[in-house]
Structure 1
């Protein structure tokens, strides 16, 4: 999609098509110029736009990962966690990012659906249980930031040659995979912080996959490893052996991670509930142990997540 406009309403409605939480504040309509280009690459969207106007904008991804770079002579960026360096890319899967400029800026962004990027992270790590979350919105280093920017330029140039017919589907898929792999290498994510084992070279057995599905669907209930084994018609010892062989982990650890993920979703939802109540809901009876485990998985204390997303 490619167009130019001076209509403020169309600017915001277009951005919201791709990032529903995006909001434009205090746009000066008298000197607005908007030049938009976007390309769909499967479940990845590439966006590049120039917006000349006095602007304040906010994005808060929902079920998405947004990797974005803002270039402008007076552009300023910050998240609810910290200040961000303008002209360097950032990555968010939930924390709000605010940008503002007076004279104009170019915004380049890659918008990943959460399931798509998480699936790639699982393929790269060989761990079907990886739950991907952003640990730091800023890139790992200047070198990593430069590599991401070069990747985006290559992606944009390559996308120019794509047609809308089915013959380019494989190329679109490969470009999306390249973009995702480079983004994962550029930023710190908790999916990479606590997975240190050889890559899984074959798909997990059907029994393990069914067990993981049962855990995902029932982690909010007071189930045990014995319940998981019974649900997939295998002995507890057999289930433990299958998990160790396929995933190099235990059913108990997978259940624990699923419950941490559930608590993380609840805290991000903005619901008026205490951290202690959320911890109890997901089976963590000791608040201090829950806080330690949560920080190890998500990089911040649960109280920080709750305060950031409270309505």
Structure 2
């Protein structure tokens, strides 16, 4: 009979299991971070994005703020928004750009892209147009004082 199936081995294994699991927790689980409900994690992620719309954040930063790994964060956003965290970040930034334009705080597309950390003004304009049916430069021109034109 092998050691693995002997009663002596099984009793030794059970004693070790009882000691490591006496508090009801699996020794493989990390209990240092509290487990949050998905909607709470999503709220934390969205708040982090809103609070950092002017900062050069990445998906790693968002994941760290929520306590999730990147893949879990992506699944969460896909499930609840049918979008990725990066798409949501871009969406918040596009909405912020529109607010800046409407408040008269945007002087040019380049100014907006730099302020909102878009690396490509063309991509920014394309996303803006897909959202608002006009280019940001059209909206900026429409908001400018007629004397400046």
Q: Which TM-score tier does this pair reach, normalised by the shorter chain? A: 0.5 to 0.7
Q: 1:306 aligns with which of 135, 140, 145?
A: 140
- Is the strand fraction higher in 1 or 2? 1
TM-score normalized by structure 1? 0.33
CA contact (8 A) 1:219 1:282 kept: yes
Query: Where does residue 215 of structure 1 map in the other structure?
Result: 49
Higher relative contact order (CA 8 A, sep 6+): 2
Distance 1:303 1:267 in 2: 9
Deviates more, 1:283-292 or 1:219-228: 283-292
CA–CA distance in structure 1, aligned partners of residues 103 and 130 of structure 2: 20
Residue matched to 1:249: 83
CA deviations on 1:42-95 (whole Å, 9 max, x unpaired) are: xxxxxxxxxxxxxxxxxxxxxxxxxxxxxxxxxxxxxxxxxxxxxxxxxxxxxx
Structural RMSD (CA): 1.5
| Structure exhibiting the larger radius of gyration computed from Cα positions | 2
User: Unaligned regions of 5+ residues in structure 1, if any?
Assistant: 1-203
Listed one character per residue, the Cα deviations across residues 98-122 of structure 1 (whole Å, up to 9, x for unaligned) are xxxxxxxxxxxxxxxxxxxxxxxxx
Per-residue CA deviation, residues 177-212 of structure 1 (Å, 9 max, x unaligned), is: xxxxxxxxxxxxxxxxxxxxxxxxxxx711111111
Displacement of 1:272 = 5.9
Tell me if 1:284 matches 2:118. Answer: yes
Question: Structure 1 residue 271: deviation in Å?
Answer: 2.7
In the alignment, structure 2 segments of 5+ residues that lack a partner are: 1-37
**Contact 2:106 / 2:140 at 8 angstroms: preserved in 1?**
no
Could you tell me the TM-score, scaled by structure 2's length?
0.67
Q: What is the count of residue pairs matched by the alignment?
A: 108
Alignment of 1:127-166 (within 5 A): none
In the alignment, what sits opposite 2:101?
267
Alignment of 1:13-162 (within 5 A): none
Distance in 2, Cα, partners of 1:242 & 1:254: 12
Alpha-carbon distance in 1 for matches of 2:123, 2:106: 22
Structure with greater proportional helix content:
2
